[in-house]
């Protein structure tokens, strides 16, 4: 019999009944050690264990703040005790929360833009808010009253994110059996119940047996350190690129319309440049353009290709980049220009990728955000075709366990172009991951020399949405609650 079992059994022989806390205190053992010993003793019929499921509640950081400083709706009622408060004065976050909940609970009324106490609000000031009382109760104890009203208040505070409710298995009763009262451990029993360094280095395990190990013994839930799912996915994408021979590059978030649109052969009257889709920066300092030679080349491509008068001030407008392809545009220009003069100094193909946040004035839904991550890749080489493009993208996403399919599509800066999709089992539909194609000669300037540029851009959050069926939408990825993070798996 293991030492832990002997200690616990001896204590129970003296007291007959006990509980977890008393056994831990009297034995000097940890909770997990006591539970392990009890389970083994229970399997041998030496002790009787009555098990039940209990709920433990605790305050979140926001709940602790409200417990110490008062719920926003209660603080609003205290202000109204002195007089009316204008709605326009409730501009801060807590003020808006207090106004919302006080109105929902019928504690106030609003007349001519002023907030007034209702009869229910006056009563709440006199007797106290039940929700505030429950916060105080939780702060002093991990358990809550079991009556119906307390349960409803607990559910309400849990939905507000002020408390967390956690269920765990507990022993409601521990008692020794008749067999346990008369049981005497054999003195010569020498089975090994735990491993340590001295047991191995001293070879004290030789000639001895091992006690069975029960993996179903209940222990305290372990909370390991976890990476945020989005950060983890970004690292896996980087890993896939690097494994396929790519080098990472970066560029500015606030950029000129020249690099975001003009250098990618998007005309200045294209719908993608409209304020409905693009965030423009007011009163921005002058932002970077390319060399004078390159600006002239872009202007010529636009006037000849799109047949309109190209405007330099429009190209100088500052915007939040709408894609990381603006980074690719810079490197395409620099690398291809150098290739024209020093072709022998480069080993083809050249593979680079970028990763970063982009901004679009999108309608928010389960697969769209206004601020999200995108990754772009380009391959510069000789006589590259669509087959090379498709094979490269499939190779990258095979590393991410994602099957890809393509369909023809139009993008101003590639010809030909294609979108690629992956299947969502949860939503039972093919979801677009990104766009791809062969960069137009008007952009690369590599005419008649055999140089081709393959390019693609992918939304990172969409990939994670496809791979994790527990996600309800990509906006959930920006939830930093500890409870959500601890239960999220990837």
pLDDT value of position 372: 87
More confidently predicted of 226 and 329:
329
Give the number of other Cβ atoms within 10 Å of residue 28's Cβ.
8
pLDDT at 145 over 70: no
At 25-66, the pLDDT tens digits run: 888 888 888 888 888 888 888 999 887 777 778 888 888 888
Q: Is the pLDDT at 483 greater than 60, yes or no?
A: yes
88 band by pLDDT with thresholds 50, 70 and 90 = confident
Cβ-contact 185, 3 below 8 angstroms:
no
Domains in the chain, please, with CATH?
A: 3-52+170-201 (1.10.10.10), 59-165 (1.10.10), 231-253+321-487 (3.30.930.10)
Report d(CA 481, CA 60) in Å as an integer. 9
More reliable by pLDDT, 150 or 240: 240
pLDDT > 90 in the chain, percent = 21
What order do you get walking across the sheet with 47-59 strand by strand? 17-18, 163-176, 47-59
The residues, any chain, with a CB within 8 Å of residue 113's CB and separated by 6 or more, are 86, 87, 88
pLDDT at residue 366 tops 70: no
Mean pLDDT of 201-224: 76
Does pLDDT of 190 surpass 70? no
Q: Between 319 and 217, name the one with better pLDDT.
A: 319
pTM: 0.58
At 205 the pLDDT is 84
Does residue 224 have a pLDDT over 90?
Answer: no
Higher pLDDT, 101 or 171: 101
> Which residues touch 375 (CB under 8 Å, ≥6 apart)?
237, 241, 324, 353, 354, 355, 457, 458, 460
pLDDT at position 278: 87
How large is the average pLDDT for residues 99-106?
88
pLDDT reading at 280 higher than 70: yes
Contact by Cβ (8 Å): 243, 293: no
Residue 220 confidence (pLDDT) above 70: no
Count other C-beta atoms under 10 Å from residue 244's C-beta: 16
314-358 tens-digit pLDDT: 899 899 999 999 999 988 888 888 887 777 777 889 999 999 999
Residue 389 has pLDDT above 90, yes or no: yes
At 276 the pLDDT is 63
Instruction: State the distance between the two ends of the chain, measured CA to CA, in whole angstroms.
Output: 41
Distance CA 36, CA 447 (A): 75
At 218, is the pLDDT very low, low, confident or very high (cuts 50, 70, 90)? low
Indicate if the pLDDT at residue 254 is higher than 80: yes
């Amino acid at each position: 019999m293991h030492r832990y079992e002997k200690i616990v059994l001896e204590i129970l022989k003296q007291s007959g009944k006990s509980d977890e806390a008393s056994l831990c205190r009297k034995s000097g053992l940890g909770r997990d050690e006591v539970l392990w010993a009890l389970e083994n003793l229970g399997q041998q019929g030496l002790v009787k264990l009555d098990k039940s499921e209990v709920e433990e509640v605790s305050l979140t950081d926001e709940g602790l703040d409200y417990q110490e400083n008062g719920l926003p709706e209660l603080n609003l009622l205290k202000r109204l005790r002195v007089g009316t408060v204008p709605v326009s004065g409730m501009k801060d976050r807590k003020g808006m929360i207090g106004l919302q909940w006080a109105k929902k609970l019928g504690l106030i009324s609003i007349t001519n833009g002023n907030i007034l106490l209702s009869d229910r609000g006056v009563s709440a000031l006199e007797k106290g808010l039940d929700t505030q009382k429950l916060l105080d109760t939780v702060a002093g104890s991990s358990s809550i009253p079991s009556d119906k009203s307390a349960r409803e208040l607990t559910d309400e505070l849990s939905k507000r994110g002020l408390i967390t409710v956690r269920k765990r298995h507990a022993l409601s009763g521990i008692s020794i059996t008749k067999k346990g009262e008369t049981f005497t451990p054999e003195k010569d029993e020498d089975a090994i119940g735990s491993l340590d360094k001295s047991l191995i280095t001293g070879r004290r395990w030789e000639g001895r047996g091992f006690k069975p190990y029960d993996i179903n013994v209940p222990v305290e839930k372990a909370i390991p350190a976890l990476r945020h799912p989005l950060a983890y996915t970004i690292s896996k994408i980087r890993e896939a690129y690097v494994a396929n021979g790519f080098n990472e590059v970066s560029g500015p978030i606030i950029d000129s319309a020249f690099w975001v649109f003009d250098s990618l052969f998007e005309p200045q009257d294209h719908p993608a440049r409209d304020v409905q889709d693009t965030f423009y920066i007011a009163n921005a300092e002058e932002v970077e353009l390319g060399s004078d030679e390159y600006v002239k080349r872009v202007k010529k491509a636009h006037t000849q290709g799109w047949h309109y008068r190209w405007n330099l001030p429009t190209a100088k407008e500052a915007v939040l980049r709408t894609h990381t392809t603006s980074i690719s545009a810079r490197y395409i220009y620099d690398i291809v220009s150098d290739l024209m003069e020093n072709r022998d100094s480069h080993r083809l193909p050249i593979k680079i990728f970028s990763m970063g946040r982009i901004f679009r004035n999108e309608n928010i839904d389960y697969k769209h955000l206004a601020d999200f991550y995108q990754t772009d890749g380009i391959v510069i080489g000789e006589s590259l075709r669509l087959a090379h493009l498709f094979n490269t993208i499939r190779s990258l996403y095979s590393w991410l366990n994602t099957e890809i399919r393509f369909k023809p599509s139009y993008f101003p800066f590639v010809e030909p172009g294609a979108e690629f999709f992956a299947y969502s089992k949860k939503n039972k539909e093919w979801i677009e991951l990104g766009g791809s194609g062969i960069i137009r000669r008007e952009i690369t300037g590599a005419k008649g020399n055999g140089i081709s540029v393959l390019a693609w851009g992918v939304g990172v959050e969409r990939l994670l949405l496809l791979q994790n069926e527990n996600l309800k939408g990509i906006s959930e990825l920006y939830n930093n609650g500890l409870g959500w993070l601890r239960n999220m798996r990837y």
